[in-house]
Copies of this chain bind each other. A is one copy, B any other.
Amino acid sequence: MSTRDQIVEAADGLFYEQGFAHTSFADVAGAVGISRGNFYYHFRTKDEILDAVIARRVEATRAMLARWEEESGDPAGRIRCFIRILVANGGKIAAFGCPVGSLTAELAKLGHAAQAEAGQIFTLFRDWLRAQFEALGFAAEADGLAMYLLSRSQGAAVLGSAFRDEAYLRREADDLCAWLDAKLSPTRKD
C-alpha cells in the first residue's frame, strides 16, 4: 500500500476515534510511522487530508452498498444488511458513535466547507434505502421510510455511545427488523 493510502487510512481511523479537530498531524504521522516532514509531501493542509478521508469513506460506502446488492437478492434482506451494521460495528459505535453522524456533526459546528461532502454519505444511504423500499412497493412512502431508518440508526448510535451500551444497540437492531417485518406483513399495515 502506498504511503499516501496509509496516511488516509490512519487519518480515517483517528478522525473517527478522536475527532477531526482533536487529531494532529503528529498523531497521524505517528500512526503511520513517518515523520511530520514527510507528511507534507503528501498533504499540504489538514483540510486536504479531510477531503481524502471523506472521499475514501464515500468509496467504501458505495462498495458496501454494492456488496449488499450482491449478497442479498431481495430488497428486504438488503435493508436488514443496513440494520445489522448496528450489531456488526456495535463495539465501535458504543465507543465512538456513528462515523458518518459524528463527523458531519463536528464539521457542522466548525462551519467547515467539507460538511456538505460528508453529508453526501447520508444521501448515499438514503437513496439506496429508498430504492429498496420502492422495490418493495412503497412508492410515495419510500423516502420517508428511508429517512425513518436512517434516523432510528442515528438515534441508536448516539444513545448507544452516550450510555456505552452495546446491548442496547442489539435491541434496537432487533426492534428495527421487527418494524420492517411488520411493514412487509400484509396483515399489519401501519
Contacts and interface: CB of A to CB of B under 8 A. Distances in A.
Interface of A: 17-19, 21-22, 95-98, 101-102, 104-106, 108-110, 119, 122, 147, 150-156, 158-159, 161-164, 168, 172, 190
Q: Which of A97, A109, A168 has the most CB of B within 10 A?
A: A109
Chain A interface helix/strand/loop/mixed = helix
Given A119-B163, A155-B151, A162-B119, A105 B109 contact: no
Protomer copies: 2
A167 to B, nearest CB: 12
Given A19-B110, A96-B109, A151 B162 contact: no
A139 B134 CA distance: 38
Contacts of A164: 108
B109 A102 contact: yes
Nearest to A103: B162
Given A119-B162, A161-B104, A162-B101, A109 B154 contact: no
19 contacts: A17-B109, A18-B109, A22-B109, A97-B105, A104-B162, A108-B162, A108-B164, A119-B162, A119-B163, A122-B162, A147-B159, A147-B168, A150-B159, A151-B156, A151-B159, A153-B155, A154-B158, A155-B156, A155-B158
